[in-house]
Amino acid sequence: MPRDPKPINSIFKNDTALAKISKRTQFLNHLNHAFQQCLPAQFSAHCKLANIRGETLIIHTDNASYSSLLRFQAPALCEALSRELKIDITLLEIKVRPNFTRMDSRPKNTISLPDSAATALQQTADNMDEGALKVALEKLAKRKI
């Protein structure tokens, strides 16, 4: 006999370790959001807050050049973050992590088409003379949902 799924809140109430992990995750997400707001715009897609240890923020960047540039901004960032978060931040520890997943990571150039659109594109390609446009339409028609 299958059991009904339990609400996630009840699982967290019964398991203190999960509740602690969830609370820490929410806290780090809040810190990362505040960190992103304090960063210059060109840095936000390349840096993320990974952890906080005492008065030290651990930041991950996706390449060494942003790591170096961020080190120059460290004193101003520590001051701004201390003010914003009401936590005493004295040091940024910056690590290069080339493969970290960005918050807005979506595969580029992935288009999925409904069947009706794919059929229409294929029919259009079928009625065309050979050429680059026909090949492109046939390729697009293969991208069904």
CA dihedral 76, 79, 80, 81 (to 10 degrees): 120
Percent of the chain having pLDDT more than 70? 90
- Whether the pLDDT of residue 82 is over 80: the answer is yes
Please name the residues in contact with 62: beta carbons below 8 A apart, sequence gap of 6 or more.
Answer: 46, 47, 96, 97, 98, 100, 102
Q: What is the pLDDT of residues 24-74, one digit of tens each?
A: 888 899 888 888 888 888 888 889 999 999 999 999 999 899 899 889 888
What CATH number does the domain located at 8-96 have?
Answer: 3.30.300.180
Give the H or E element holding residue 57: strand 56-61
**Domains of the chain: which residue ranges?**
8-96, 106-145
